[in-house]
Structure 1
């Protein structure tokens, strides 16, 4: 037993020594002959350098992109690190102070649709991703003063794949490892690099990984408890924390016992999300979309209401609630009990459950259950998505919040475009975002959702009141929120 412990200690210390020796210098050239002015320049350059680590596709992480843009606006140099699977925000690509450092995709030979091979290749993909992340943080980028890393629930994907809790299909097998490195070792890697390079670590909490895992395994499952313990421990190694709600800050303080500063930083819309006040411009944009081809005549006559929802097609958004509500709405409209307009529902986003839901929608349409409703799926550019929100009549959020203390950023985007919202409200943090009857309405069932649709689309004046509230709420922008909180934390904004 003693011999085994000695061997473990020897190899652990040897590995750590090698990592330290191979790690690039924290401050650049550090010889005695280095001039004082050069050392000062290097120190200043390091002070102004930031790393923003995205645990997934950069293009699908708007909050982290907004962080990078805000830092660059204040004079910082930013390396934004993550996967490049979709287009990034145009301002990110055009900003000379922001460098995109892509994480490499796993080798093609690790791709497989064989269930047995997948169980073997899955861990190899994890190892490859971790090595890629370590190499990127420690070698491919210069030492930075700050590393801002998002905390997203990627670890449930790893557990599902390794232990078979996900219902396996070849398509799911590729989704599980194509986007996100597992957050359990990722936070550890980031913490180690920050320790070795004297970089301050800031965790931006979007949600808790253990709560997402609990959706599949249950609150009492050992892996859920391990996940929560891990997040609790790792949270104590950060210099500071940002989080999306006051409720989440409370959990970090009371349940995670975090002693470092915890700064609630609510999501706010970015500059490209703006209302379109001119009805003619809104109509022109809607007519330009291929998704409106079936209702262009109705659009021109004003006899259709455009409903938009953005979803990741995952377990924490029960899309069946919206399908059920739209089916009931169509029945009411066909029955003639109330004069109700036709609905065009445009659903944006990609995700693992998308094809299954689209098949269900097609089946309902074929059966004549959606006579007064058209449901279209779309994947739009950043610019077109912003224009769609500004041109629609109502937004719908199906985000259920696994933790109860996070908020859907899609609602923030909708407010930025002046779009009123109806959303699932059965969680603690909802009132931090939506004021009932002022800028939106909440629901807790398909029955309540269809009541809102009938009431708002059947009474345009009520919908207009919510739109005014959405315009007011959306007038507070991202930089208004970011500057006094994150800007001060990073020393980029004067106190």
Structure 2
């Protein structure tokens, strides 16, 4: 194996041409994951393109990327295969085979692409991407930047436990090769301090910020989305006993086909939304238990609206939770679990009444991007507590923080007690978000990343 690696490096390196004078205008943006489910990586690519850089975007092509990525002439998507490794044998050998296959594939791709000024890589996933990218960047003379979203070993620890051999090995690997990068970005000040103190890595904090597509959705666009959603998902359809002449109806809106006017339906349900990757760091039983308590509040006579709860996303635990959801017998709550096109997701967020976030962070050092997007749409949030959440969610200002299902159920009762009025806490939180003058992605990126690129890479 070692001989094969040496031979491959020699063959590829010997074929390299002299450094291209315009290489500094070429950028490789890399994620060893699904490009379509990696919004921050897509935003990096669009920002680089906006400033005149030619971008090679490398990753798995499982989910359709945003249309802006597809239509951008400066962005070239280079898909790589999501290799599974062996399907038989002990788990450790199957995992090792996957890492080896991905290492060879990624190294080959990085050595054969057009000369690049630098490589910007998302971590996690970083095994084997950090080591392979570092080797390729040294051979080709690229600057190597890691964008730290979290620590990969902490995600592995959710499944295996922090004392498992493979978790300890992953931590050693991540710590060692993470120090070999030329520059580093990270998502919170807490992570920046941890990288500096415990990893001897200096990083620039680049908070996730919403791009302009995340905004409050005009009522007409809301209605159009609800009509489309209603063709597939029952909770978006009007009640069967409701019919009105010259009116196109959804569960939330009414469209007068003669005048063209769109209004909100009287007695409409509240639209609750949560987004998830259906992984171990989000326990959706917390939300389901809170909804059960909410149902009891309604049946006990509290003046509360019915709920439509939309949980978007894909991931390994989705089928497990879908079965759990199907086992519930709600009378005042409807739940659906769609996967939305990239263009529809911000429209739905901008149409919702309240967001719920169950992301707890395996490291306690990253922040949920879904909340950033919700705030971009001026959508108040109830979020589960973890270490550095205060860097994003301000309790009693732009949302509420809860610790368990009981607290969440009480918060739902409190926030929807005035629904659909806008004078209660829910309306105040939305007003605060509208008036906050929150920074957007482009401004944030231009301030924190562009100077680094121009200083070190141009």
TM-score in same-fold range (> 0.5): yes
| Alignment partner of 2:295 out of 330, 354, 376 | 330
Residue in structure 2 matched with residue 350 of structure 1 by the alignment: 314
Question: Residue 272 of structure 1: CA displacement?
Answer: 1.6
Tell me, in whole angstroms, the C-alpha distance in 2 between the residues paired with 1:80 and 1:202.
14
Deviation sequence 1:8-52 (CA, Å, 0-9, x none): 9xx66x9546514422665x4x4xxxxxxxx8xx31x20111101
Decide whether aligned partners of structure 1 residues 283 and 223 sit closer, same or farther in structure 2, where only a CA change above 3 A counts. same
- Matched ranges for 1:57-456 at <5 A: 57-106=34-83, 116=89, 123-139=96-112, 141-152=113-124, 154=125, 183-258=126-201, 261-276=202-217, 278-290=218-230, 291-293=233-235, 296-297=238-239, 298-299=251-252, 300-336=265-301, 338-365=302-329, 370-425=330-385, 427-456=386-415
Of residues 471-480 and 449-458 in structure 1, the stretch that sits farther from structure 2 once superposed is 471-480
Unpaired stretches in structure 1, ≥5 consecutive residues? 1-7, 31-38, 155-182
Q: How many aligned positions are there?
A: 429
Question: Residue 123 of structure 1: CA displacement?
Answer: 4.3
Residue in structure 2 matched with residue 180 of structure 1 by the alignment: none
| SS of structure 1 residue aligned to 2:320 | helix
Question: Residue 428 of structure 1: CA displacement?
Answer: 2.2
Tell me, in whole angstroms, the C-alpha distance in 2 between the residues paired with 1:294 and 1:145.
49
Tell me, in whole angstroms, the C-alpha distance in 1 between the residues paired with 2:307 and 2:161.
37
CA root-mean-square deviation? 2.5
Decide whether aligned partners of structure 1 residues 491 and 448 sit closer, same or farther in structure 2, where only a CA change above 3 A counts. same
Decide whether aligned partners of structure 1 residues 15 and 397 sit closer, same or farther in structure 2, where only a CA change above 3 A counts. closer
- CA contact 1:70–1:479 (8 Å) conserved in 2: yes
Q: Does 1:483 align with 2:446?
A: yes
What is the TM-score with the length of structure 1 in the denominator? 0.81
| SS of structure 2 residue aligned to 1:463 | helix
Tell me, in whole angstroms, the C-alpha distance in 2 between the residues paired with 1:476 and 1:396.
22
Question: Residue 494 of structure 1: CA displacement?
Answer: 13
| Alignment partner of 1:50 out of 27, 40, 45 | 27
Question: Residue 418 of structure 1: CA displacement?
Answer: 1.7
Decide whether aligned partners of structure 1 residues 119 and 394 sit closer, same or farther in structure 2, where only a CA change above 3 A counts. same
The ranges of structure 1 where at least 4 consecutive aligned residues each deviate by more than 4 angstroms after the TM superposition are 115-123, 292-295, 492-495
More helix per residue? 1
Unpaired stretches in structure 2, ≥5 consecutive residues? 240-250, 253-264
Tell me, in whole angstroms, the C-alpha distance in 2 between the residues paired with 1:363 and 1:100.
42
- CA contact 2:270–2:305 (8 Å) conserved in 1: yes
Tell me, in whole angstroms, the C-alpha distance in 1 between the residues paired with 2:100 and 2:198.
31
Decide whether aligned partners of structure 1 residues 493 and 350 sit closer, same or farther in structure 2, where only a CA change above 3 A counts. same
Deviation sequence 1:211-250 (CA, Å, 0-9, x none): 1122223333333222222211112101111000000000
What is the TM-score with the length of structure 2 in the denominator? 0.88
Deviation sequence 1:159-183 (CA, Å, 0-9, x none): xxxxxxxxxxxxxxxxxxxxxxxx3
Decide whether aligned partners of structure 1 residues 359 and 23 sit closer, same or farther in structure 2, where only a CA change above 3 A counts. same
